[in-house]
Structure 1
Amino acid sequence: MLRRLLLLPAMLPLAAPAAAGDGAGLADFVLVDKSERRLWLYRGGVVIHSLGDLQFGASPQGHKAFEGDERTPEGRYTIDFGNPRSAYYLSLHISYPDARDRAAAARAGRSPGGAIFLHGQPNGLADGRRMSRDWTDGCIAMTNAEIALLWRMIPDGTAIEIRP
């Protein structure tokens, strides 16, 4: 399901995504490589867009194991919904934790955490500014312009793989 067109303050209206069933220009797979700090959007096995200089959890190495470890998950998940009213400039939810993540955290007697997103910079930060590197609690952050582009190109239900 595609997100609705949004009119957000401090930016031009976002272009409407392609009509459902059309799919032109929409990604069908997202790949994130934490070590390269890069993200690639794919359509039909072909790269249609990439961006770099991503920001991760404050402890970026390793898979997220439990709430508060400030790590970004690794593995295959789904971008399942967008949140236009998050504390950060637009956000796309990643379906962490899955059953495997919940089971591993339970074995350790911990909560796996959640609320992992691709998102922009904190609301209220001056336009064009960025936080220092690796500041999130496990999310994947980028510039506001980059997340606005991904917002238009990634429909709900898109697979995402996050690699170490």
Structure 2
Amino acid sequence: MRPSPTAPGTAPPGAPLAGPVDRILIAKSARQLTAFRDGRPVKSYRIALGFAPDGDKARQGDGRTPEGVFRIDRRNDASAYHLSLGIDYPQPQDRARAAAAGVDPGGDIFIHGQPNQRPAGEVLPGDWTAGCIAISDAEIRELFAATAIGTQVEIRP
């Protein structure tokens, strides 16, 4: 999982993310997370998703990454993964949909780094999370430092 080629207007791969971000856009099909400041993209990262990435999250354990508009609602520097930014999933509509289906909507969706037990710098290949968005440890350090509670996160198919 290396950064994708530089999107127009974004920092080149390896260049630091300078300053805070106010929006994060995750394009699941492109496996890309783009950080924005003042409506402009400032840096993009290659991502890994849940182990069953197609479609919106419907229930706990389905391996899907949710879709919609969320907010960062917690920051964890003692995560089982190298830093994590919590996303406020499930939303009321997710809870209602799950209740109607008689299932648990799941939760604990994060943007995070690699598992802590992995050797430094190693990046797991493919889509391997339980529904989260994973980037490299160096990338999550950078994004974690630039992202505040309340930052908007949009996750698109």
Structure 2 CA distance, aligned partners of 1:122 and 1:51?
18
Aligned to 2:147: 154
Shift of 1:132: 2.6
Aligned residue for 2:73, secondary structure, equals: strand
Aligned to 1:68: 61
Aligned to 1:39: 33
1:58 pairs with 2:71:
no
- After TM superposition, where is structure 1 displaced by more than 6 Å over at least 4 residues in a row? none
TM-score by length of 1: 0.83
Unpaired runs of at least 5, structure 2: 1-17
Aligned residue for 1:73, secondary structure, equals: coil
Unpaired runs of at least 5, structure 1: 1-23
Structure 2 CA distance, aligned partners of 1:93 and 1:85?
12
- What amino acid is the match of 1:39? L
Shift of 1:119: 0.3
Structure 2 CA distance, aligned partners of 1:40 and 1:101?
24
Aligned residues: 140
Superposed CA RMSD? 0.9
Structure 1 CA distance, aligned partners of 2:129 and 2:36?
25
Post-superposition Cα deviations, 1:17-64, rounded to whole Å, max 9, x if no partner, equal: xxxxxxx81111110000111111111111121112x10000000000
Aligned to 1:3: none
Shift of 1:80: 1.1
1:48 pairs with 2:42:
yes
1:81 pairs with 2:83:
no
Shift of 1:105: 0.4
What percentage of residue pairs aligned between the two structures are identical?
50
Aligned to 2:86: 93
Structure 1 residues 59-68 or 128-137, which shifts more? Answer: 128-137
